[in-house]
Amino acid sequence: MNYWLIKSEPNTYSWDDFIKLGRDHWDGVRNYAARNNMKEMKVGDLALFYHSVHNPSVVGIAKVAKEHYPDPTTDDDRWVVVDFVPERKLDNPVSLADVKDDNRLVKMMLVTHSRLSVQPVSKEHFDIIIEKSK
């Protein structure tokens, strides 16, 4: 199993929006590195759901339900989507400040490549985020 982080602006698409849908595709990715990460995702992989911009924090866990396929929001075949289902909301959000303040997470891509909207997460970092949310 692999682990990921997917970012969304909560005023555009929030964890609550995702919960209401119950399953959704992650679309609109227009960065090659993020797209390549999506192409690596496998059914059953887990992703940290991250609210960016206002009060940036990890708020939930999503599970890959369907591997990449063409993005239906564009005719450009370079772009893909991945289907996710909600796994669970975190007991407590883990803020970006909390991540940056933890020496165990200094090499996490959220810190080192903060603008990348879809990024891999090591199992160790994933577990630390889950631990911090309790």
How far apart, in whole angstroms, are the C-alpha atoms of residue 70 and residue 59? 27
Q: What confidence tens digit (pLDDT) does each residue in 112-128 have?
A: 998 999 999 999 999 99
For residue 43, which of 63, 19, 24, 69 has the smallest C-alpha distance? Answer: 63
Q: What confidence tens digit (pLDDT) does each residue in 36-94 have?
A: 999 999 999 999 999 998 899 999 999 999 999 999 999 999 999 999 999 999 999 99
DSSP helix/strand/coil, 53: coil
Query: 17: pLDDT confidence band, cut at 50, 70 and 90?
Result: very high
Per the structure, the complete domain to which residue 51 belongs is given by 3-132
How far apart, in whole angstroms, are the C-alpha atoms of residue 32 and residue 58? 23
Q: Kindly give the residue spans of alpha helices, DSSP state H, lying in 31-105.
A: 32-40, 96-101
State the number of CA atoms in the 13 A half-sphere of 131 facing the CB: 10
| Number of domains forming the structure of the chain | 1
Torsion of CA 42, 98, 17, 20, to 10 degrees: 70
- Report the predicted TM-score, pTM, of the whole model to 2 decimal places: 0.96
Please answer whether residues 49 and 15 qualify as being in contact, where contact means their C-beta atoms are separated by less than 8 angstroms. Answer: yes
What CATH code is carried by the domain that includes residue 26?
3.10.590.10
